[in-house]
Amino acid sequence: MSSVTRAALDQRLAMARRCSHEGVVAGAKAAVVATVAAAIPTVSLLFSTSSSTVFGHRSMNSASYIVVG
């Protein structure tokens, strides 16, 4: 059975911390991208160039809003 040195354990712990931090950063970036992607249809609907006004619910599917123009 081989023994593990303190230096080897410290190195593995440092690598685990670095990888964990990289995962958190990647998750935060993905959340920002998802938020922007979800907001684009809403913003484009609110600032459309047509003269129509849209009234309805938060979920803007075809059955939940009325276009008055």
Per-residue pLDDT band at 45 (split at 50, 70, 90)? confident
pLDDT value, residue 57 = 46
- The pLDDT score that the predictor gives to residue 25 is 95
> Residue 44: what pLDDT?
74
Query: pTM of the full predicted structure?
Result: 0.51
Tokens 């009234």 label which residue? 55
pLDDT digits (tens, 9 = 90+) for 14-43: 999 999 999 999 999 999 999 999 888 877
Distances (CA, A) of 42 to 21, 35, 47, 48: 33, 11, 9, 10
